[in-house]
Structure 1
Amino acid sequence: MKAVFVQDAYEVIVKEVDIPKLGDLEVLIKVKTAGICGSDIHTYKGLHPFRKPPVIIGHELAGEVVEVGAAVTKFQPGDRVTVEPQVGCGTCEYCLTGRVNYCEDRGAPGIGAWYGTMAEYFAAPEQTVYKLPEGMDYERGVLVEPFAVGVHAVRKAGISAGDKVAILGAGPIGLLAMAAAKAAGATTLLVTDVMDYALESASQMGATHTLNILHNAEWTEKARELIGGGLFDKVLIAAGVPGIVDQSLKLLRKGGRVVTIAMFHGDQTFNIHNLQNQEKEILGCMTYTREDFFIAIDLLAAGFVDDKALITHRLAPEQAAEGFRIVDKKEDRSLKVLVHFHD
């Protein structure tokens, strides 16, 4: 089968590999479409903490079940599915309490023997597979995983009806986090970025305010002006750039909460007085839980995500290198780039 490899930093190739052998509790999926995620770009640049080249890349997919293991009971060939791309040990405290994302032995595609999803076929443990609702096409199905990231961040932040929320970064994860915040009842949604086209998509997806911070040194003051001079209840960080944690605290009201979604490289510094004296909070955010996945599926099925404003490119496997390049360089107005494998 064809598979997309990040062979080395900034080198993407397509190779022929064997179709994965199926275990008794596994499901074999014919991949219809796979997405390029921001964390895949970290692998592409050689910066990911645990997914290292050479590797079959990808962890977002939607497709059709073509074979099931001997002990599988919940799926059959022909089912349309997506996958939660993480699996825990199953016995630790975290796994037993539904927090697989905390498991010290958590597995994920592209680590060890588990292939990434950007291939013609993908094998996954039965407990990680989810059926797509009737009427949900594969392109919306592939958004379940990144949308679950946004759902998890919104739930960590405790966003509720009437909240004023700032989302820093208008890449696909930031835009999907914004959509999740809107679904949770936030009524003021300000999105920042350095690309006007990304902010245009944010507006199409429901942002009440947008701000290009590229040429605005005092952008935190401008952000507050845009919402009438007030402060935000919650801030979601979806861009791991230097100084952004301290900037987020300047946007936040007393007792407010910052949630970090982005993957950071290097240290972040902030003024501790802005945190402690005003009882603000900074929370980390790591992937999602099973509950987040179910919520993401339900919200997508209900139309809470404008995929037309988010999906910008549909490529063949042989064009994957181009896809990684344009996402990394933010070229050609790229946001969510998909790789299609089967018609």
Structure 2
Amino acid sequence: MKALVYHGPRELAWEETDDAVVGPGDVRIAVKAVGICGSDVHGYLGLTGRRTPPMIMGHEFSGVIDAVGEKVTRWHVGDRVTVQPAQFCGKCEFCKKGLTNLCGSKRFYGAMDCNGAMAEHISVPEHLVYRLPDPVDFASGAMIEAAAVAYRGVKNAGDLTDRHVLVIGAGTIGLLVTAIARLKGAKRIYVSDLSDARLEAAVKMGADVTLNPKSMDIRGVVMDATEGKGVDIAIEAVGVTPSAQQSIELLRTGGTAVWIGNSAKFVEVPMQEIVTRELNIRGTYIYSHEEFGEVLELVGNGGISFAPVISLQAKMSEGARWFAQLADSPGDLIKVILIPE
């Protein structure tokens, strides 16, 4: 089969490689759509140490089953599916509690040396597979993984009903957080980003107020709108010091900041402010297997539209070009979806 193979920093090649092997409990999927995640771009640049060449990236994907293993009972050739890409053991203390995202033995498709879906085919265990509802196209099916990340982040923020919510970062995850926060009853949603184009997308996803720190006094805007108190909840979707600090600075006393962003290994934050104002800082990591299914159901029922997030669809064979552009000059691009020839 053909695949987009990562050979090292800035080295991607569309080339012939071994076909995906179908084990007894596996299904093979003909990939129809796969998203380029920000973590894939960081891996492409060699910044994370989470891509071991040669390997195939891609963990946001959907497709059609074209082969099944002899022990597979739930799936058939022709089924339209997406995949929860975090393999979990099912036996550890976290898995037994349903917290499969915290499984210490998990492997992730498209990371380290575990080949992903930027290829013509991928084989996965049948228990990781979810059926695509009829209204959900393949591009949207490839967005379920990112939506699940956002969903868990919002879920970890607690009850949003009638709350003032700040979303920091209007990339893919931040925009999906915005849409889900709107569904969960937030009273007023503020979205902060340095890109006016992304802030325009945020409005389409449900933002009430957009904030650009380059061109406005965002603290003044937020404090005026909240009677000087600050927001009840801040959800950080970038993962660097300035955005982490912003999530604390604009938070009301006793408020909650949820950190999804995972870019920097270390950030500097005002510890005394966290302590003296009794702020709640909570990390959130990917999603559980069950939450992935919950998001798929939400999307299937029309709760989330990905149209403002998907910037374009491009041929998988041209993936190297789009990785380079996303790394060097993304402009207004948010999510690029790769599709077969």
Q: TM-score, normalised by structure 2?
A: 0.95
1:76 maps to which residue? 76
282-291 or 298-307: bigger deviation: 298-307
1:51 maps to which residue? 51
Q: Kindly state the Cα deviation for residue 215 of structure 1 after the two structures are TM-superposed.
A: 4.2
Q: Kindly state the Cα deviation for residue 125 of structure 1 after the two structures are TM-superposed.
A: 1.0
Q: Kindly state the Cα deviation for residue 268 of structure 1 after the two structures are TM-superposed.
A: 0.8
Q: Kindly state the Cα deviation for residue 113 of structure 1 after the two structures are TM-superposed.
A: 5.7
Q: Kindly state the Cα deviation for residue 289 of structure 1 after the two structures are TM-superposed.
A: 0.6
Task: Work out whether residues 9 and 53 of structure 1, in 8 Å CA contact, stay in contact via their aligned partners in 2.
Answer: no
Q: Kindly state the Cα deviation for residue 284 of structure 1 after the two structures are TM-superposed.
A: 1.0
Distance in 2, matches of 1:298 and 1:338, equals: 21
Give the paired residue count. 341
Distance in 2, matches of 1:119 and 1:226, equals: 49
Change (3 A) 1:104 1:54: same
1:263 maps to which residue? 262
**Map 1:142-291 → 2, pairs under 5 A:** 142-216=142-216, 218-225=217-224, 229-291=228-290
**Map 1:133-148 → 2, pairs under 5 A:** 133-148=133-148
Change (3 A) 1:237 1:49: farther
1:309 maps to which residue? 308
220-229 or 122-131: bigger deviation: 220-229
**In structure 1, the residue corresponding to 2:153 is in which secondary structure?**
helix
**Map 1:320-335 → 2, pairs under 5 A:** 320-335=319-334
Change (3 A) 1:53 1:189: farther
Task: Work out whether residues 166 and 232 of structure 1, in 8 Å CA contact, stay in contact via their aligned partners in 2.
Answer: yes
Change (3 A) 1:212 1:234: same
- Which digits, 9 at most, give the CA deviation of each residue in 1:162-211, with x for residues without a partner? 12111110011110111111111112111111111111111111111111
Task: Give ranges in structure 1 of 5+ residues lacking alignment.
Answer: none
**In structure 1, the residue corresponding to 2:233 is in which secondary structure?**
strand
Distance in 2, matches of 1:78 and 1:231, equals: 51
Task: Work out whether residues 53 and 113 of structure 2, in 8 Å CA contact, stay in contact via their aligned partners in 1.
Answer: no
Distance in 2, matches of 1:116 and 1:250, equals: 39
1:131 maps to which residue? 131
Distance in 1, matches of 2:226 and 2:71, equals: 56
Distance in 1, matches of 2:106 and 2:224, equals: 44
Task: Work out whether residues 63 and 81 of structure 2, in 8 Å CA contact, stay in contact via their aligned partners in 1.
Answer: yes
Distance in 1, matches of 2:329 and 2:228, equals: 32
- Which digits, 9 at most, give the CA deviation of each residue in 1:76-125, with x for residues without a partner? 11110000001112221112221121111111113466321111101111
Distance in 1, matches of 2:60 and 2:316, equals: 15
**In structure 1, the residue corresponding to 2:173 is in which secondary structure?**
helix
1:90 maps to which residue? 90
Task: Work out whether residues 33 and 341 of structure 1, in 8 Å CA contact, stay in contact via their aligned partners in 2.
Answer: yes
Which amino acid in structure 2 is aligned with residue 123 of structure 1?
S
Q: Kindly state the Cα deviation for residue 157 of structure 1 after the two structures are TM-superposed.
A: 1.1
Distance in 2, matches of 1:64 and 1:17, equals: 20
Distance in 2, matches of 1:159 and 1:10, equals: 43
**In structure 2, the residue corresponding to 1:130 is in which secondary structure?**
strand
Distance in 2, matches of 1:36 and 1:90, equals: 28
Task: Work out whether residues 312 and 336 of structure 1, in 8 Å CA contact, stay in contact via their aligned partners in 2.
Answer: yes
Which amino acid in structure 1 is aligned with residue 187 of structure 2?
T
Distance in 1, matches of 2:212 and 2:258, equals: 21
Distance in 1, matches of 2:172 and 2:227, equals: 27
67-76 or 28-37: bigger deviation: 67-76
2:37 maps to which residue? 37
Distance in 2, matches of 1:98 and 1:49, equals: 28
Distance in 2, matches of 1:234 and 1:76, equals: 44
Distance in 1, matches of 2:14 and 2:170, equals: 30
The sequence identity of aligned pairs, in percent, is 35
Q: Kindly state the Cα deviation for residue 28 of structure 1 after the two structures are TM-superposed.
A: 0.5
Distance in 1, matches of 2:181 and 2:78, equals: 34
**In structure 1, the residue corresponding to 2:28 is in which secondary structure?**
strand
Distance in 2, matches of 1:227 and 1:328, equals: 37
Task: Give ranges in structure 2 of 5+ residues lacking alignment.
Answer: none
**In structure 1, the residue corresponding to 2:160 is in which secondary structure?**
coil
